[in-house]
Amino acid sequence: QVQLQQSGPGLVKPSQTLSLTCAISGDSVSSDSAAWTWIRQSPSRGLEWLGRTYYRSEWYHDYAVSVKSRIIINPDTSDNQFSLHLSSVTPEDTAVYYCARDQSSSGWFDPWGQGTLVTVSS
């Protein structure tokens, strides 16, 4: 059974970088079929796909246009996890952030991490 465990701070100051980690058990971040994804949810934006990383003989990354200039999603093969880094945050980045697996890179997500509420405030 695949499980995703999120970690990271719940409070980030404006202009700083939001960083979260998602630890994977029961699968590999280097899977040649899965894609590892970050999604966020806020009252103003609803559920919003942010980006993904996946391995197909080499590493690939796709990012949402809305955050493309500020986002990095990195795999960590040593610890079998992946991370989200979102720079230059503003209060509009306040949201619950979820990691999720796209098992066959089809576009649907299972499972999801437990979610992390990140508040951007000074």
Q: Which stretch binds other proteins (CB under 8 A): 26-34, 70-78, 82-90, 106-114?
A: 106-114
Name the token pair of 73.
């999603």
Burial 44-54 (b: 16+ CB within 10 A, else e): eeeeebbbbbb
Query: Which amino acid, one-letter code, is at 50?
Result: L
Question: What is the rounded distance in angstroms from the CA atom of residue 30 to the CA atom of residue 97?
Answer: 22
Exactly one of 69, 110, 121, 122 binds other proteins (CB under 8 A); that residue is: 110
- With a CB cutoff of 8 Å and minimum separation 6, the contacts of 1 are 26
Question: Which residue's CB is nearer to other proteins, number 58 or number 110?
Answer: 110
Does the protein bind other proteins through residue 111 (CB under 8 A)?
Answer: yes
Question: Which residue's CB is nearer to other proteins, number 59 or number 112?
Answer: 112
Output the smallest distance, CB 45 to other proteins, in A: 10
Question: What is the rounded distance in angstroms from the CA atom of residue 87 to the CA atom of residue 89?
Answer: 5
Kindly identify the residues of this chain, within the stretch 52-91, that bind other proteins according to CB under 8 A. 62, 64-65
Kindly identify the residues of this chain, within the stretch 33-52, that bind other proteins according to CB under 8 A. 46-49
- Per CB under 8 A, residues contacting other proteins are 4, 46-49, 62, 64-65, 98, 106-115
